[in-house]
Amino acid sequence: MTKSPLKILLAGPRGFCAGVDRAIRIVELALEKFGTPVYVRHEIVHNRTVVEDLERKGAVFVEGLGEVPENFPVVFSAHGVPKLVTDEAARREMLYLDATCPLVTKVHVDVMRHTADGRQVILIGHAGHPEVLGTMGQLEDGAMVLVETVADVETLEVTDPNNLAFVTQTTLSVDDTAQIVDALRRRFPTIAAPRKEDICYATTNRQAAVKEIATRADAMIVVGAPNSSNSNRLVEVARVTGCQKSILLQHAGELDMSWLDGVATLGLTAGASAPENLVQQVVKALTVSFDVTVERVDLLEEDIAFSLPRALIA
Ligand code: SF4
């Protein structure tokens, strides 16, 4: 049987970012240094394949420190943790390793700086996401306010409209956030902004790469987990850019080939917590049903790497 031709536009950059790479490495090094088990609070990054791989190596994933027995190391996930968590770990004299991405830590530092300067902090983000819980948890309950939409800005109540600052979740849509920031600036012209963009380089670059291919593609697959913020944003960005037929796929096994009926050009990318082998498995699965050609669309090269905690490399 003759296979239909399918051109894949493979976005670059895609997949793992420096923060995810570092977080996984921290768990692996902790396992090497301290032996099994090493406890990890929350999914180290939002990807089941990564989590299951680390579980096989001896990591145990928990949601609370209460589940960690005495004298075992615990790693905090890349999304960051509320202060209460680090305080509890210190009080119990636990051996803890913080895999919070340094770009999330930078947001926490900004929150503390604004608070020390007497400003009320507004966080732009998605309620319930672990990064948002961690960032809001840098301050007492109720001290920071969360806005998710432009409409939230219009009804926002603040302590002093002339003494405000905003920070953002690192994995938001660049374009949606710009609209929320505009709304904040319209309502509160003196609001202090981050010195440098809070939406991280990896989120920004992956969205830019998706925009580049979305206008040429009949459909788009984003490899990533349903609870991965930056992966979901990639699907949204593809749709807004004009590629309405865009989906999130956890792995090749979820792919229904009939979904590709009538598709000649397929965009393919992956969220920052999705390993490259999952992308390659999708390409391989497509090759079984289609006469595939792959065109790499590399927007830019990333060369960012973060240092590891001293406790693991000493
Ligand atoms: S997506 Fe951005 S903030 Fe999140 S871990 Fe990666 S580099 Fe850090």
Within 8 A by CB and 6+ apart from 285, the residues are 252, 255
Q: At what angle are helices 48-57 and 18-34 packed, to 10 degrees?
A: 10
Dump pLDDT digits (tens) for 93-115. 999 999 999 999 999 999 999 99
**What is the mean predicted confidence (pLDDT) over 215-241?**
97
Q: Per-residue pLDDT tens for 274-285?
A: 999 999 999 999
Continuous H helices in the chain: 18-34, 48-57, 83-91, 102-116, 130-136, 150-154, 174-187, 201-214, 229-240, 276-289, 310-313
pLDDT score, position 1: 75
Main-chain dihedrals φ then ψ at residue 100, nearest 5 degrees: -55, 130
Q: Is the peptide bond before 37 cis (omega within 30 degrees of 0)?
A: yes
Q: Are 64 and 117 in contact (CB under 8 A)?
A: no
Query: Residue 195: what pLDDT?
Result: 81
* Those residues with Cβ within 8 angstroms of residue 70's Cβ, 6 or more apart along the chain or in another chain: 92
Distance between CA 234 and CA 271 in Å, rounded? 7
Q: Is the pLDDT of residue 297 over 80?
A: yes
Nearest-atom index, ligand 1, CA of 170:
3
Residue 2's CB: how many other CB atoms inside 10 A? 5
Count of C-beta atoms within a 10 Å radius of residue 285? 16
The CA angle 312-274-241, to the nearest 5 degrees, is: 135
293 CA distance to ligand 1 middle (Å): 31
Mutate to test the pocket of ligand 1, among 77, 104, 109, 197 (most ligand atoms within 8 A of CB): 104
Ligand 1 atom nearest the C-alpha of 171 is 1
**Residue 262: how many other CB atoms lie within 10 Å:** 9
Q: Ligand 1 pocket: which of 200, 206, 228 to mutate (most atoms <8 Å of CB)?
A: 200
Distance 306 CA to ligand 1 centre (A): 11
The pLDDT assigned to 197 comes to 81
Per-residue pLDDT at 40 exceeds 80: yes
Q: For a pocket test of ligand 1, which of 203, 205, 227, 231 has the largest count of ligand atoms closer than 8 A to its C-beta?
A: 203
Atom of ligand 1 nearest to the CA of 22: 5
Identity (one letter) of the amino acid at 146?
L
Q: Report the run of H or E that residue 5 belongs to, with start and end.
A: strand 4-12
DSSP secondary structure of 188-233: -TT-B--SS-SS-HHHHHHHHHHHHHHTT-SEEEEE--TT-HHHHH
Catalytic residues: 131
The share of the chain scoring above pLDDT 70, in percent, equals 100
Pairwise CA distance, residues 89 & 95, whole Å: 8
5 burial (CB, 10 Å; 0-12 / 13-18 / 19+) is exposed
Residue 296 · residue 10 · CB < 8 Å: yes
Whether the per-residue pLDDT at 266 is higher than 90: the answer is yes
Give the pocket of ligand 1 (CB within 6 Å): 17-20, 78, 101, 103-104, 170-171, 200, 202-203, 230, 272
Three-state DSSP at 3 gives coil
Would you state the pLDDT for residue 209?
A: 98
Q: What pLDDT score does 192 carry?
A: 98
Q: Which ligand 1 atom sits nearest the alpha carbon of residue 78?
A: 5
Instruction: Give me the pLDDT at residue 108, please.
Output: 98
Report d(CA 142, CA 36) in Å as an integer. 39
Alpha carbon distance 167, 135 (integer Å): 9
